[in-house]
A and B are shown apart, each in its own frame.
Chain A
């Protein structure tokens, strides 16, 4: 893994202050930073609290364009080397605010992006929502979601270490390790900027004619 600085964006859809969703997000980011530091790679972390963009997300949905502040947040995500996305589980799935953010992200912009997904909830019974709701959403966006998803129920924050059980700390470390390995092998594909390099017209004309 080359030692150039990597950028990590953390998207947290927690609503309360303080929020356990943010707490989990911070733990995941710290573990990722530590694993990269072991490899001698510096990490720049930017955390996006979706609550700060809640009005702008609705406005974007209604008007079709982002406010300057939201646009900067969206750009940070697509320009990152890796993404941590954490949501509370509401009604068997990600929160509406979490979904809004990915709804307004331009299509194809998460192509191949290494993503670690996490979620929080009141009881462990909602943990598979990560697998049946959050993972398919990111898979649809062509993101490279790491195998370990981290769910934290209220009781996880107090659970003592038991040898036979995977503690929250263990899961966080395993998932962070997977994210770092995915970020290490990711080839940055330069995004094609259709405004800087338009498809030449003769090519548009040929593809239109089905040749």
Chain B
């Protein structure tokens, strides 16, 4: 089981002080969070990709490359990479380059993006969201696996004799997750390729989460990648912790009440009841996260959103300390204890390379006597 953090990269004023970080401060804060995530023993740091204020991370590989140089162990990922409005050729090149620089510590999560104007800004039409995700990824998948690609599609200029460079590290393409909250087409896409499926359930009740994950698992088996319970599932989560749960609620409430995504809506208590948001003690976070497993089965990656709604950096770093010291060690132990032996861990560069080498290795001659010819 992998545990990590994902960040949206929003510049939001702290509602308790009214002060907003500058873009420079927010970008440096994201880096500090990534470094802290590695320090406290998390496995994954993932950044969003946005092309409009108040978000700063428009250039994920630049940021992840910088973090790669300052870390040794943590996997660098995205949440999400816009497969609709980015050129799949540039994604192939950028992330292969990042993969080399980071020594293989890279995977990606594909997403469509739901900000209407971003599509026309990049020459696309939001009504083509699903077809763009399907076609662009089909091309990206080939660019990382075939040295020379001839290709023609609906949305991009054709390619003849094109080689995407650098080739993936060790000939192993980065592992890909497909993120979707509610589109069965994306679950189907992830299942078809045998890729991972990430359900960012932080804004969505578990009854819905379960449905789309079940679909992905069933189709993963249908396409012959393994049993349904061996499909690669990731979930989101959102927590704020203090030793005493009432303190956590008191401190977090102004951030909840003024957050761009929740403000003016349901109460903190209702939202906690209906979504995975957990504001309370570390023990409550442990219990709630283990409940996710009851909802979707044994899964491979849990990412937490820790740094939005104007929470100051010091608080976020402190939260990461609590997560790393009090929550994750228990969750690691429990998830591992509950996981059946046939359910795989999330693929990494090392595991994918080992699997490929095993598949490529010459089969030992079977010394079977008496078998005709």
Contact = CB atoms under 8 A, between A and B. Distances in A.
- B and A form one assembly: yes
Interface of A: 55, 58-59, 62-65, 67-68, 194-195, 198-201, 204-205, 207-210
Given A64-B203, A67-B266, A68-B205, 8 more contacts: A55-B266, A63-B262, A63-B271, A194-B184, A195-B215, A208-B132, A209-B135, A209-B153
A210 B262 CA distance: 39
Contact of B189 (A68, A194, A201, A210): A201
A198 B187 contact: yes
Interface in B147-188: 153-154, 184-185, 187-188
Q: 9 nearest interchain CB pairs?
A: A62-B265, A201-B192, A208-B131, A194-B184, A208-B134, A208-B135, A210-B154, A198-B188, A59-B266
Given A198-B185, A205-B138, A209-B135, A65 B215 contact: no
Contacts, number: 74
B360 interface: no
Contacts of A194: 184-185
B187 to A, nearest CB: 7
B154 A208 contact: yes
B208 interface: yes
Interface string B133-147: 011001000000000
A191 to B, nearest CB: 13
B274 A67 contact: yes
A204 B189 contact: yes
Nearest to B190: A201
Contacts of A198: 184-185, 187-188, 215, 219
Contacts of B223: 201
A63 B191 CA distance: 28
Contacts of A208: 130-132, 134-135, 138, 153-154
A63 B274 CA distance: 11
Interface in B206-234: 208, 211-212, 214-215, 219, 223
Please indicate which of the listed interface residues A59, A63, A68, A208 has the most CB atoms of chain B within 10 Å of its own CB: A208
B204 interface: yes
A165 B344 CA distance: 76
B270 interface: yes
A59 B264 CA distance: 8
A204 B185 contact: yes
A71 B239 CA distance: 26
A196 to B, nearest CB: 8
A68 B134 CA distance: 33
B38 to A, nearest CB: 33
Contacts of B215: 195, 198
A193 B211 CA distance: 11
25 contacts: A58-B264, A59-B265, A59-B266, A62-B263, A62-B266, A63-B261, A63-B266, A64-B203, A64-B204, A65-B203, A65-B204, A65-B208, A65-B275, A67-B266, A68-B205, A198-B185, A198-B187, A199-B184, A199-B188, A201-B189, A204-B130, A204-B131, A204-B185, A205-B138, A208-B154
Contacts of A62: 262-266
A68 B266 CA distance: 13
